[in-house]
Each structure stands twice: as structure tokens, then as C-alpha cells.
Amino acid sequence: MSFEGTLTEVPAPEVFRILGAMGRTGVLHVQRGACRKQIVLDAGRWVFCSSGTMKEVLGQHLVASGVVSEDDLREAVAYQSLHRCRIGEALIALGRVDEATIRSVLAAKIHDSLHDVLTWREGFFKFVETPPLGDRVPFRISAGWEEIVAAGARRAASLEHVHRVLPDLSRRLRVDAARLAERPTQSRVEEAVVQSMLQGDTPADACARLPYADVLVLERMAELVERGVLVADGAAKPPSHAHAQSASAVIEKARRLAATGRSSQALELLAKESHASGPTSVRMHAERRTIEAEIRSRVQSTLGHPERAMLHAVGQRSASGDLTLAESFVVSCVDDGKSVEDVVRGCPFGELEALAAIDGLFRRGALRCALLAEPEAPATDAALAAVGPGTGRPPLPRMPATPARRLPRRQEIDPGPGGR
């Protein structure tokens, strides 16, 4: 069974209801903008959800819930690469958390990711029916479509309440110090929101800059407003001409970062600043796409064959400087005998982040590349004919030519289970 369409025509709750009620088994691929998710369905039960979005990886959920720190996560990423294990297993081995905590946070992460999809009003979906995936699913929940759809409705209602409390995300909020002293922050996310407001960010700025899911940031922000800790100060964002000037400065800074081998930082900067409304956001998105295309082109031209390209550290320079998490992961992989293809596939932060990290480290001279020997290609008619007589081999019969077949058009969302 193949079931696909747009979420405008078939709302996400209806997609979940149809597949769940029919008892299907397979993978539902959903995409909205740059966000892609793969959701596993087993006999009508929703069991797993993976996402390439940085804010939805397990490590960020552990940080957001206060279970581990950013330093713990960096250490676990390096351990994960060296020992070829999952990020949760790395944290357990390092003694940062226990297995019960990992399983609890992972289950909450999967539920949150599913509930997020149910709030989407636009995007694409495609369901690919498969045999039972069994052990290929690293962790399982078991949720019926009724439970998931009901939770999604509660999430949508919560967002509507947030937008009533925060009708304009471009309007700054002031921190009431007296109320903050009376009612201090109750979580790491609330503390991060308060710090963001103290720095002069708008709610939209906070969503773009903080490493937590947008809905989590907005919900905590609305609670702080209702408790009187945050107060609207009446200052809106600068006018559109100032936006344009700001966007030009951001784009120029991103170009300088990319030109100096800081591709990962350039993409991160554009992602954080592209929250601006109007044409400035379009310009930043366009610049991000340009940098992404340049990264892919450079990696392809430099490495040629990712399945045979091996990376090697050059002295100690790969360990110096301010590395992103993706760059730290790549650096920790170079002495592990992995090809570039293996590194990209195994990167917990996504394919693009891995390519940007490799590109940046390579251009900064922190890595070098060597190609493994190419496997021997099978002999062709031309090669055998060039050998001439006396080889002891009879000439190969010439096969009739077959007409070329048009390949099927590639789908916007690739099939297959995928995910981390």
C-alpha cells in the first residue's frame, strides 16, 4: 500500500487515524520545510519516530530536561564515536545517567515528536508499507492512534493558548526582577528563557536561538507571563528597513564564516536569524540553501568517492579552536577506520551537519583525505578484445542492445525506515 499527499488536503490527525485504524505496518515519512521525520507503524500501533532536527535529538531532550549538561553531551558524543554505540549507551557508560532515565526521556521524546506532527497544517506525507521491522527499531513505545490524536489535540489547544498570551512574537518582554525573586524559575528551560529576555531577545528570537523545541520554549514563556515574571514592555521589533540592514549584516557574517572554513557556524547563524518576517527571512533562507549547495559540491569534488574516502587528523590542529558538536563527532571518528560515508550516516546531528563539519575541518587544514584502493572492475568486451588472442579465453558473445528505460521520478521524501 502506498498512501501519500499533502497535509493541507489530508490533515495529520486524519492520516494517523486512517493508518492506525487499518492496522498497517510500515514507515510514514513527513516533511515540512527542512524538517523531515520518519514514523514507524507496527500493526496499527505507533512505535517510533526519528527526526533530523537538531532540537529533537535525544541529547537535546536530556539537556532540556536537566538530566545532563552540554559538557556531558559533548563527552558522550566523543565516546559514542570511539565505541560505536548510541548516545544513551555512551551516557550510561560514562556514569552520567542510568538506563531507566534514558528510557523514560526517550519515550517522552518520541511522544513529543509525534504530537508535534499533529500540529502541522502544511507539508507532505508518504506512507510506505513494509514487513515488520523487528530489531531494526532501536526503541519502542506502543501507542494507538486514538491516544496519539487526542494528545495532538491537547498540544494544538496549548499552542492556541500560547498565542492568546503571546499574540505578537516580535514584541519584547521585560523581566520583572521583583516577581522573579518571589517566583524563581522552575526548570532549565525557564531559566534559559529569562536569560534570553534579559539579553533583549524577542520571543521569536528565543525560539530561534535556544536549543529546545519551539513549543517547549513558548509554553514556558507563556507560563512566565501568566506568573508576572515576564511583562510586555511595548517595544516591538525594529521597522522593516532595519530588518533589511540586519539581514544584510547576518548574511555577510555567514559568508565570512563559510569562506574561512566555518561552514557549520555559518549554517547555524542563518538558521537562528532567519526568524525575521517578510523578505529578509527569504533572503536568509536563500543564502542558507546556497551555502548548503556549496558544501555538497566541495565535499563531492574533494572526496570524490565517499564510500572509499578515509579521513585523517593533521597533527593536533583538529582538536584546537571552538568546535561544534558535529565537528567534535567527526574529529573523534577519524582514527576509527571509518569512511566518510560511514561518518555521515552515523552522525547523530544529520547528514548536512556532518558534511558541513567535514568541509570546514578539511578547509581549515585539520583533516586530510586518502582514498582506499578502488575495487577491481569486471572485465568488459572492449577490455577483453584489447587483450588480443592467446589469452585462453573465448570471445564474449555480443548481447543485443536494450532500449534505455526512464527511471522513476525521485520522490521528495525518500522511502526507507532511516532515522537515528
| 85-107 tens-digit pLDDT | 888 889 999 999 999 998 998 89
Check residue 234 and give its pLDDT.
54
Cell of 337: 577506520
Least confident range from 243-252, 287-296, 382-391: namely: 382-391
pLDDT bin (cut points 50, 70, 90) of residue 308 is low
**Per-residue pLDDT band at 314 (split at 50, 70, 90):** low
Q: What is the pLDDT of residues 169-189, one digit of tens each?
A: 888 899 998 888 888 888 888
Report the pLDDT value the prediction gives residue 13, as an integer from 0 to 100. Answer: 92
Rounded mean pLDDT, 256-272: 78
